[in-house]
Structure 1
């Protein structure tokens, strides 16, 4: 194959779809915005051992978005406001239940999110069509309009600014929350500020990837990065780069193979995680070899 033909083939395979089609360009911009905001939030979610909490919160925003849909149809402001309110209510409600009863926070959160998920699916399925339900559950990343892109970019900017301001309290809370409470007044601000960032990113991700897939772009890149690097800044940068790369590959796969876009992106993120799990510096291969050497030295 000649060089011009090879270049043309690579262009058509890798670059052309992202440049020539408006819906692919919009999807790419949306995925970039999500990667820049969700991946760093996912790092702190992982370090705080709240990965399953993020999954629960992703489902918890569904009834609020469904009520917004019930009132105003597929209205971005109504569904966004409803999702944010529902997510915050579930986060605060589960915390209050954990502090006021014998139930631990994980049990109360699981109960709230199951009720929320069932209620949201019921509202959308009874008041809308099966297409509307699929859009809510799996997102419409290939149909992002100007308002949705503005929401994603705005969320990314707010998240990055908030993380820059709260970086030190957030890191301290991950490492030693008791120490942070004893020496700083910012403990509560860091805790509840992080929950707010988690909710708004899940709501933004909900519009692009759907309520079932939104948490994937948070947890999977962060878990992959943790298997390669140790420092928090390096984890944030690597998680963002992995999320960007997997999003681009997922978009191209969905275009060429005609797969659903949101599952394709999350599967690429999952493949990245599995590869990191085996080959990463803290993964099964190298980490297992070090563990075996330590065992033999004993």
Structure 2
């Protein structure tokens, strides 16, 4: 028996498993539902296993189907990635990096300069998107994310365990901070609060930051300025809109350029480190290794 299954049947299986319907799979593949059903029967005959449970128009994977689907999906993703690069004449010359919105401008973009100096002709595709991301299907070479728990089956490389500290523009502090006598007396309306969203609970708040310093001050976020991105908090602080509890890796450029000042030497650590998630097939790429190194530096 030939151990290699019929590839058309494998493709039909992957699309059917992903979409959950033969009709949707047929539409994606540009064939009839009957053709998809026949390909699935061919694959089931090849393995001698039933791969789907049919329930009207809906289908669900059996235990055997669940066992092979992850490997099938990854394999087809790899084939598609290599094919796309060959057709574009860019095999091993294009780097696809996926990054959360908050990290793209203030952290990733400045680090790309070092990569471009070493690989000036490399094509870089920066995709700004939230978790989760299908790394294999979307041909991602490197995904940056908060925490090490988002993705399985890939290599996880810790980059930096960031911290937050109070920052604002020099002009804002001259106008409001010095008159108030410092952070403990600054009016609540002048504080910028970052809303991390419903999925996160490990980022320090202003009240937690004060408590870690031994201060009893508690701030009501509804009385201040609220933003939905940590990078936006930095931008708002640079524009003189208030004092942000900003992430150090995002504030570094503004601090070095004098657009921001740090109002305290005390910082509070985030709950988790930022990590790079790299499919194992991409680990050998030198440009991936260099970018991981650049992102992991504290300078």
Using the size of structure 1 for normalisation, the TM-score is 0.24
Q: Which of these two proteins has the greater Rg computed from alpha carbons?
A: 2
Bigger helix fraction: 1
Bigger strand fraction: 2
Using the size of structure 2 for normalisation, the TM-score is 0.24
Bigger relative CO (Cα 8 Å, ≥ 6 apart): 1
